[in-house]
């Protein structure tokens, strides 16, 4: 794999991103689905790659691998595992972290709701694996973690865990996870809009009727993963290019996370790993520790009074670029044959996840969230179906003028949500935990945690509602 080939791979990837953007501009139905340009680009790459066009042209030597060179695909195959570290390292950089009391007062119900839904996905996924996926379809017990990894974690987490899936003997799990993440995003938008229309008709959604439709410009913006506004001028432009400085900060966060991971691996090897023969951290990917590295840097910068040097908008640009690259490369290298070979369990996992997420929104949210349950809950459901941007999208439709505290609470929620699930420490550790201790043990743990959050939310916040 030469430097020239790596450079060519990024050029080809950029061409597909331009094609995806052009298609989104040209076809209104793609904008109405709020599909980001990178997902459209990834689908196009998949269609003209070896899995679709290549299969149709098996007798044609020139097109037997599709239009994308094999060496380019080999580079793309490594990108998700690398770029997921950038995304998570940037997660908390440049953000003002309020105290825990303030977070809890504003976002407490959404924190508990999000935790209930995420841990419930583990419960249902592991039950499905134990009683159906393993004995009937001969899948790995690790399939019990696919719902949470794919739906709450999204494309980034699903693709970023590909090496962990492979190391633990379930390589096909990575392709199933990316496919499920795609199902989650599309179904999340469609079902979310249906529920918002239902909420408007039944007067559960209080603010929808004030503006029934978004403008085309708003649709274009909401289809992206982050706001794409121009970064503000930073204070260090004369001494160092701002982009270079922020790339260095992100790199430092990843490096700090790598040191932390190596330290945990050594600690485990010298202590409980040596005593019990159980080793978890060698299978834990880097990205959740990179997130912790970013949090440490942000806290240190805040303590010494130089946090204003970190421009959150520019950090968003770096993270957004990494996410676009990750999605195109992950979808472009998706093995459709693996999904085809496991189509029944694939659809079964997707159906269980969708039913649980909708049930949680319709039944649990009104009993757990004291005020503005619809506007708050629709954001949590959107995030549980695919990614944070889906939740933001649905909240914008349900509350276009931000008249409820849903958006503010949703933002604060991430500070107590993402470090653990939705791509956090437990999401990354769930695969090695299931591998080492078995699905039954992790099912018991997930059930206890789910019941804790469910009962606490219904009793503590539900009482406030009454």
pLDDT digits (tens, 9 = 90+) for 231-283: 444 555 556 788 899 999 999 999 999 999 899 889 888 887 777 777 777 87
Helix (H) or strand (E) run with residue 64 in it: none
Q: How far apart are CA 159 and CA 35, in angstroms?
A: 18
User: Rounded distance, CA 261 to CA 50, Å?
Assistant: 36
Integer angstrom CA distances of residue 32 from 27, 189, 220, 267, 341: 9, 9, 9, 51, 32
- What is residue 274's predicted lDDT score, i.e. its pLDDT? 77
**Residue-by-residue DSSP string for 224-251:** SSS--PPPPP-TTTTTS-HHHHHHHHHH
pLDDT tens-digit profile of 115-127? Answer: 999 999 999 999 9
> Phi first, then psi: what are they for 328, rounded to 5°?
-60, -45
pLDDT band at residue 135 using 50, 70 and 90 as cut-offs: very high
Confidence band for 213, pLDDT divided at 50, 70 and 90: low
Please give the torsion angle defined by the CA atoms of residues 178, 182, 185 and 186, in that order, rounded to the nearest 10 degrees.
-170
**Which is higher by pLDDT, 146 or 274?**
146
Report pLDDT digits (tens) over 177-192.
Answer: 988 988 888 888 889 8
Output the pLDDT for position 372: 87
Beta-carbon contacts of residue 44 (< 8 Å; ≥ 6 apart): 16, 19, 20, 23
Looking at 256-270, 345-359, 360-374, 419-433, which range is the least confident one?
A: 419-433
pLDDT tens sequence across 374-424: 988 998 898 888 767 677 778 877 887 778 888 778 777 877 787 788 777
Query: Confidence band (pLDDT; 50, 70, 90) for 227?
Result: very low
- Pairwise CA distance, residues 233 & 246, whole Å: 13
Band of the pLDDT at 219, cuts 50, 70, 90?
A: low
DSSP 418: T
Per-residue pLDDT at 176: 92
Tell me if 253 sits within 8 A of 293, measured CB to CB: yes
Identify which has the larger pLDDT, 213 or 103: 103
Report pLDDT for 138: 92
Question: What is the token pair recorded at 95?
Answer: 């953000």
pLDDT at 284 over 80: no
CB 249 within 8 A of CB 309: no
- pLDDT at res. 63: 73
Q: How many helices (H) and strands (E) does the chain have?
A: 25, 0
Give the predicted TM-score (pTM) of the model.
0.80
pLDDT at 147 over 80: yes
Spell out the domain ranges in the chain.
Answer: 242-310
- H-helix segments, 99-145: 100-128, 134-137
Contact call for residues 133 and 170 (beta carbons, < 8 A): no
SS3 content of the chain, % helix, strand, coil (to 5): 75, 0, 25
CA distance 249 to 223: 28
Mean pLDDT of 340-360: 94
Q: Which of residues 357 and 323 earns the better pLDDT score?
A: 357
- Please, which pLDDT band fits residue 346 given cuts at 50, 70 and 90? very high
Distance CA 144, CA 427 (A): 12
What is residue 81's predicted lDDT score, i.e. its pLDDT?
A: 80
Which one is predicted more confidently, 141 or 49?
Answer: 141
In this prediction, residue 156 carries a pLDDT of: 77
pLDDT of residue 22: 94
Query: How far are the Cα atoms of 46, 179, 325, 377, 401 from residue 38, in angstroms, in the given order?
Result: 12, 15, 8, 27, 28
SS3 49: coil
Distance CA 204, CA 200 (A): 6
Supply the angle between the helices 439-456 and 425-437 in degrees, to the nearest 10.
140
User: By the 8 A CB rule, do 247 and 279 touch?
Assistant: no
Distances (CA, A) of 399 to 190, 211, 407: 17, 9, 9
To the nearest whole number, what is the mean pLDDT of the chain?
Answer: 84
| Cβ–Cβ < 8 Å for 413, 100 | no
CB 46 within 8 A of CB 331: yes
Give the burial class of 171: count Cβ atoms within 10 A of its Cβ; 0-12 exposed, 13-18 middle, 19 or more buried: middle
Give the integer Cα–Cα distance in Å for 45 and 108: 42
The two structure tokens encoding residue 360: 């949680």
pLDDT for res 215: 58
Looking up tokens 């419960």 gives 123
The more confident residue out of 422 and 314 is 314
Specify the pLDDT at position 230. Answer: 44
Q: Percent of the chain beyond pLDDT 90?
A: 32
The pLDDT assigned to 229 comes to: 44
* pLDDT score for 56: 81
The answer to whether the beta carbons of residues 226 and 316 sit under 8 Å apart is yes
């Amino acid at each position: 794999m030469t430097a020239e080939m790596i450079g060519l791979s990024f050029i080809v990837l950029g061409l597909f991103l331009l094609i995806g953007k052009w298609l989104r501009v040209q076809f209104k139905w793609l904008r109405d689905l709020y599909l980001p340009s990178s997902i459209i680009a990834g689908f196009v790459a998949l269609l003209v790659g070896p899995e679709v066009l290549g299969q149709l042209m098996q007798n044609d030597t020139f097109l037997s691998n599709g239009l994308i060179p094999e060496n380019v695909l080999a580079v793309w195959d490594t990108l998700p595992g690398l770029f997921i570290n950038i995304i998570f390292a940037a997660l908390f950089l440049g953000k003002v972290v309020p105290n825990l009391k303030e977070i809890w007062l504003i976002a407490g119900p959404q924190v508990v709701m999000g935790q209930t839904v995420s841990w419930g996905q583990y419960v249902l996924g592991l039950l499905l694996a134990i009683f159906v996926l393993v004995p009937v379809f001969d899948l790995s017990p690790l399939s019990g973690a696919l719902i949470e990894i794919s739906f709450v974690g999204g494309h980034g987490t699903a693709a970023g865990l590909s090496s962990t899936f492979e190391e633990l003997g379930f390589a096909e799990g990575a392709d199933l996870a990316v496919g499920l993440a795609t199902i989650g995003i599309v179904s999340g938008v469609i079902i979310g809009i249906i529920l918002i229309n239902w909420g408007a008709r039944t007067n559960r959604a209080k603010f929808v009727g004030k503006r029934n439709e978004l403008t085309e410009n708003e649709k274009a913006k909401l289809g992206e993963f982050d706001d794409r506004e121009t970064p503000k001028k930073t204070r260090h432009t004369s001494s160092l290019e701002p982009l270079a400085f922020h790339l260095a900060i992100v790199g430092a966060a990843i490096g700090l996370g790598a040191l932390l991971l190596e330290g945990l691996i050594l600690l485990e090897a010298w202590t409980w790993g040596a005593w019990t023969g159980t080793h978890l951290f060698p299978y834990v990917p880097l990205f959740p520790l990179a997130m912790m590295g970013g949090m440490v840097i942000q806290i240190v910068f805040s303590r010494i009074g130089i946090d204003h040097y970190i421009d959150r908008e520019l950090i968003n640009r770096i993270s957004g670029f990494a996410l676009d690259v990750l999605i195109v490369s992950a979808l472009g290298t998706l093995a459709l044959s693996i999904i085809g070979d496991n189509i029944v369990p694939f659809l079964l996992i997707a159906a269980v996840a969708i039913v649980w997420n909708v049930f949680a929104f319709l039944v649990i949210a009104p009993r757990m969230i004291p005020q503005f349950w619809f506007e708050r809950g629709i954001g949590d459901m959107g995030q549980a179906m695919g990614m944070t941007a889906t939740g933001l999208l649905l909240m914008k439709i349900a509350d276009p003028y931000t008249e409820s505290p849903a958006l503010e609470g949703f933002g604060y929620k991430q500070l107590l949500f993402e470090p653990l699930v939705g791509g956090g420490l437990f999401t990354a550790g769930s695969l090695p935990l299931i591998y080492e201790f078995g699905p039954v043990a992790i099912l018991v743990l997930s059930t206890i945690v789910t019941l804790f959050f469910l009962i606490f939310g219904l009793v503590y916040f539900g009482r406030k509602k009454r």
